[in-house]
Amino acid sequence: MEQSAIIEALGVQRNFDAAHEIAGRVQFLKSYLIDSRQTAYVLGISGGVDSLAAGLLAQRAVRELREDGRVATFIAVRLPYGVQADEHDAAAAVAAIRPDRVITVDIKPGADSLMAAVLAGGTDPDMRHHFILGNVKARQRMIAQYAIAGVASGLVIGTDHAAEALMGFYTKFGDGAADVPPLAGLNKRRVRAVAATLGAPDPLVWKVPTAGLESDAPLRPDEEVYGVTYDQIDDFLKWRAIEPAAAEPIVSAYKASAHKRALPVPAR
């Protein structure tokens, strides 16, 4: 019962057809941009399959809008912290998407300056330094994307999907702070299927997912952080019975991250 309630809350559907999902989500992006009276979508491209899938959807949406005679642009934003460890994957993702514009913003000066100011104020994260800095990076990236969107009369696309939402694996007011998440309700397998159907290269579709935020472990796999695999998470999201050793940490992560999915919390 608890599993079904979680799945329903995350908007995961029982049936899935990649072509149908693509058509529906592209139409949603088109309609939302028109209704919002904006003319651009902005998305940070990391080199992972999530931003790749979202970018391919966005690029198709703006292309179809232009074919209908409307003004629409997709801006891909590269947001390295100095030199990105998997920069070649990010470059390959941009090449696959073929965005209308590419803007690169190095977030390292801003993130480091902010972290230094925090430390100078007497706050000492000690062993959590790299974790806290990682969240600063995520929020700095969103600041940059919203600044670009402000100049371009645009909306910021997020890459959150059901598997990450289930685990609370995103930074509050960071990568979870976008205007529209076109991958919402998809588990990881389905995100990969969407990307593959849109023509993404296999090495990027099947790349091991990493957050890339903590400087002391820049390519640490998501699954290592979770303590469970994406296959187990996706099985959970498909109403399948999974072993308690996997189900318990999944449900625990969902409950512990509830505050991320309920913002802001009104006074009672």
- Among 50, 179, 222, 235, the one annotated catalytic: 50
How many CB atoms sit inside 10 A of residue 5's CB? 9
Cα–Cα distance for residue pair 257/125, rounded to 1 Å: 21
64 catalytic, yes or no? no
Closest to 94 (Cα-Cα) out of 109, 108, 74, 67 = 74
Measured CA angle at 135 (ends 132, 140), to 5 deg: 125
Strand 154-156, strand 101-104: pairing: unpaired
Alpha helix ranges (H) inside the chain: 2-9, 18-35, 49-67, 87-97, 108-120, 129-152, 162-167, 188-197, 202-205, 222-226, 230-236, 244-256
Which one of 164, 175, 222, 234 is the catalytic residue?
164
Q: How far apart are CA 88 and CA 56, in angstroms?
A: 18
Look up 100 and say whether it is catalytic.
Answer: no
Angstrom distance (rounded) from CA 147 to CA 77: 11
Active site residues: 50, 164
